[in-house]
Amino acid sequence: MPRKSQITNRIVFLLMLVLLPSFAVAQMQEYKDYTVEKGDTLWDISNKELQDPFLWPKVWKENPEVKNPDRIYPNQNIKIPLHLLQKEVAPQPPKPVVKPVIKPIPEEKPAKIIQPAKKEYLVDKNLLILSGYIADSAHSVGAIYDKPGEITNLAKGDYAYVTTDHPVKKGDKFYIIYPVGEVKHPVTGRSLGVRIAILGTAEVVDQKDPKILITSSYVEIPIGSLIDNYYEIEPPLAVDNPRKPDITGYVVTSLRRIYAHGNWDVVFIDKGENDGLKAGDLLATMLQSEHKILNGVIQVISTRPSTSAAIIRKSAKEIQIGDPVTALRQE
């Protein structure tokens, strides 16, 4: 091979060694440069560029020079990681199948049975019951005072003895409840009542020396738990277009009593029926900050006069007691 050709090939080989790694890195890291405009927040930028405002923590993570997510400035450059885009491919409609035309043979048709439409509920019934409620006081008609055997706590299938404020008969049903504790408003400090946990259900099996059978239990049931009259609890039906009322308030407690962090966790807010709230309403939660930073979406599942229980539909960070609640703005 001529010497000139050998030199040319070596140059090409060296160029490939230099350029290929850069090309590979560019393929692996795809970013879009975004110039911050006046009034922009990471929430707004994530919504505009990635079609999901809840991705703002990941955008912040890709921009370590932004020390405080609340403080970004006009003309500042923000890298948008394009791999966070959720690209959806529309499914192709199936090709129509051409069937041969067959003349039907006349016959007597049986009566058409119309099946009732399947109900779609906003929340699972067990979760709704387990969430409990906030009441002015713990109303009860009796208490569990003893149990047979050596078991410490009660569960489904166990028996227990109760005292009641009225005579009972075999077959009577009760909810087993427990006053978790007083709920105070995280901002004003005023008492909102007592959070009542529903631990399970029971049925009277002996009316002479009142004895109950635990027919369901959501958690372990301790001796000393209260009983209250049974009533049917029906979950609210799902709605196609949930309301987004213009209401502001606060998260006052949760099932975890400190914070809630996952979808379907339950929180309680200081607004209820008297404020116009209904089951199915959507609200937004905000971080406790001097800036208005939206953090999550909650949906009301049950209401009382001045409080409501809601499930977390989505959250970027943990929702804590004291977090503000506001109207969910229209996207």
Q: Render each residue's pLDDT in the chain as its tens digit; 331 residues.
A: 455 555 555 544 444 444 444 434 444 457 888 998 888 888 788 888 888 777 888 888 888 888 887 788 889 999 888 877 654 334 445 555 555 555 566 666 666 666 666 778 988 898 899 899 999 999 999 999 999 887 788 999 999 999 999 999 999 999 999 999 999 999 999 999 999 999 999 999 999 999 999 999 988 999 999 999 999 998 999 988 999 999 999 999 998 765 565 666 899 999 999 999 999 999 999 999 888 899 999 999 999 999 999 999 998 888 999 999 999 986 5
136-169 pLDDT, tens digit per residue, is 999 999 999 999 887 788 999 999 999 999 999 9
Could you tell me the fold of the domain covering 249-327?
Elongation Factor Tu (Ef-tu); domain 3 (2.40.30)
**Under a CB-based contact definition with an 8 Å cutoff, are residues 145 and 169 in contact?**
no
**Under a CB-based contact definition with an 8 Å cutoff, are residues 242 and 299 in contact?**
yes
Question: H helices within the chain, ranges in order?
Answer: 3-28, 42-50, 56-61, 125-131
What CATH superfamily classification does 13-84 receive? LysM domain (3.10.350.10)
- Indicate the Cα dihedral angle 183, 186, 187, 188, nearest 10°: 20
| DSSP of 127-152 | HHHHH-EEESS---SEEEEE-SSS-S
3-state DSSP call for residue 218? Answer: coil
**Under a CB-based contact definition with an 8 Å cutoff, are residues 134 and 192 in contact?**
yes
Comma-separated ranges of CATH 3.10.350.10 domains in the chain: 13-84
**Under a CB-based contact definition with an 8 Å cutoff, are residues 204 and 210 in contact?**
yes
DSSP 278: -
Q: CATH second-level architecture of 125-229?
A: Beta Barrel (2.40)
**Under a CB-based contact definition with an 8 Å cutoff, are residues 315 and 261 in contact?**
yes
Between CA 165 and CA 140 the distance in angstroms is 9
Comma-separated ranges of CATH 2.40.30 domains in the chain: 249-327
CB under 8 A, 24+ apart: contacts of 259-263: 259/318, 259/319, 259/320, 259/321, 260/312, 260/318, 260/319, 261/315, 261/317, 261/318, 261/319, 262/312, 263/311, 263/312, 263/313, 263/314, 263/315
Adjacent-strand bridge partners of 164: 142
Comma-separated ranges of CATH 2.40.10 domains in the chain: 125-229
Token output for 147: 């149990």
